Amino acid sequence: MRQTWRWFGPNDLVQIDDMLQAGVEGVVSALHHVPTGAVWTPEAIATRHREIATRRDGSPSGLAWEVVESLPVSEDVKKQRGEWREHIANYKTSLRHLKDAGIETICYNFMPVLDWTRTDLAYRLPHGGTCMRFDVYDFAAFDIFILKRAGSRETFPEAVVAIAEERFAAMSEARKVELAGNVVFGLPGAAEHFSLDDVRHHLAEYGDIDEARLRSHFIAFLEEVAPVADDLGVRLCCHPDDPPFPLLGLPRVMSTEAHYKAVMDAVDLLANGITLCSGSLGVRADNDLPGMMDRLGDRVHFLHLRNTTREMEGLYGSFHEAEHLGGDTDMVALLAAALREEKRRRDAGRGDVSIPFRPDHGQDILDDLGRKAQPGYPAIGRLKGLAELRGVIAALAHPVVDSAA
């Protein structure tokens, strides 16, 4: 398994030198400054390559840009409106440019409007560190009383609405502003940042798009781009919905194993693959992560290894980012399944034997608390997670032999 690290570019407070000290082997990055739907030019790609290849003192880093996260899919494509055909054509061109630059693994998602949703970006933990958290009551308070989405009250259980109303009544104006900012924060580093009016506008445009229609739009996108990726030898890998249940009245199409299987079967090409994110999928108790790795592993081109703790029973509930070996996902079992998949690939003679993974997210601990890096992407918290994952992988790859046997 290949150890990688996400980097948001020159403005990221966690820099190339930090990655080297963490012992990573490759870098995951993107051109966050390029507007969604536009072509990624060879010049812009080459610039990011140079930035990754250079340490702070100007000497070579020995690192390379190995995985794109993300080459975003525009809202026009998801809705099949506006300039969606042009955006698909641009997507194909960007894939060709990335392949020419030696990058073959491309992560993306098909979530409407927001790329991920949390209510707290720095939730205080008992040990004094912080993490990201989704609180269903605060989210309901945002949806019903701040965003004031039509029909929002009916989408939550009565007990949730009652507590949300109490929460909102006790909320300071500063917390209301903070909560709204947290919910619409989306993908850190993205070119677009949404206001509440932007969110309302986008939600209105999805009014006639249900799950079946969004899936059909997704498959239509893949029917266009996956054959191009397949011809190029590029691997596309779709990130799951985060969180993996409906929000804001929007449909979800990549939240379960059945969702993934439907899309993989519809466009049955190796290039049409999966980013298996244990944190996102693990929020649902009905997602069996080790089993998904075993059953869908031949299409898993990228792994996000993080953990979450569910705070409530049922599908739709609160959760927070846990330590990498804590939480509700059996990370040891998942890593064992990933190593089994690598063995299957090795035995089959596949060229993509080593699956890239990154320690996704992390709790802010120690000096992270003063650095204030991208939410979810601290230096020390991710290093701790990577060290733990690295240790599990080493132990699984070299099991202890019982000398008495």
Q: Which of 145, 196, 187 is nearest to 168 (CA)?
A: 145
Query: CA 322, 325, 330, 336: dihedral to nearest 10 degrees?
Result: 140
Return d(Cα 215, Cα 260) in angstroms, integer: 11
3-state secondary structure of 385: helix
Termini Cα distance of the chain: 30
Q: 3-state SS string over 191-244?
A: CCCCCHHHHHHHHHHCCCCCHHHHHHHHHHHHHHHHHHHHHHCCEEEEECCCCC
Return d(Cα 261, Cα 265) in angstroms, integer: 6
Q: Are 107 and 99 in contact (CB under 8 A)?
A: no
Tell me which residues are annotated as active site.
239, 277, 304, 360-361, 377
15, two tokens:
């820099």
Return d(Cα 303, Cα 300) in angstroms, integer: 7
What interhelical angle do 84-100 and 42-52 show, nearest 10?
A: 50
Q: Are 337 and 305 in contact (CB under 8 A)?
A: no
Q: Are 117 and 243 in contact (CB under 8 A)?
A: yes
Return d(Cα 224, Cα 24) in angstroms, integer: 34
Q: Strand 307-310: give its sheet, edge to edge.
A: 120-124, 130-134, 319-322, 307-310
